[in-house]
Amino acid sequence: MTTFERIKELAKKRKLTLSKVNDLAGIGTNSIYRWKTQSPTVNNLKKVAKVLHTSTDYLLGNTDDPSPTVNKESHPYVDITDDETVYSYRGKPVPKEYLDVIRNLMDSDIRKGKGE
């Protein structure tokens, strides 16, 4: 399976069009479609992998496991203060407004001494 085919397959599983993945990754218009015949840049491939919650190794065909490995000991938490990360819930992108609400609730709890 090619890089393009892997991206297309993961996007479909996450109920995203390739155009939407392209937009969420912030890469040039129709960049992903050009990857049918051209190799992507490392930087653009990383952005797409981040949107699809996978690894560049999977997209490149170096592994058949689309789930990136996370070392839970060295990085057990996800930092939701990172505005660069695209989060999803049930295959749909989480709107920034929702993340802002979650962040505000958590900040409030932290100020009150909760959530530690």
Question: Given this model, what pLDDT does residue 9 score?
Answer: 94
- Choice between 115 and 23, residue whose per-residue pLDDT is larger: 23
How many other CB atoms sit within 10 Å of the CB of residue 69? 9
Mean pLDDT of 14-40: 92
Question: Given this model, what pLDDT does residue 75 score?
Answer: 52
- The model's pTM is 0.61
CATH of 3-60, one of 3.30.70.2740, 1.20.1260.10, 3.30.70.330, 1.10.260.40: 1.10.260.40
The domain segmentation of the chain, as residue ranges, is 3-60, 75-115
pLDDT at residue 25 tops 70: yes
In our burial notation (b when 16+ CB lie closer than 10 A, e otherwise), range 98-113 reads ebeeeeeeeeeeeeee
Write out pLDDT tens, residues 33-80. 999 999 999 999 999 999 998 989 999 999 888 876 655 555 555 666
- What values do phi and psi take at 22, rounded to 5? -55, -45
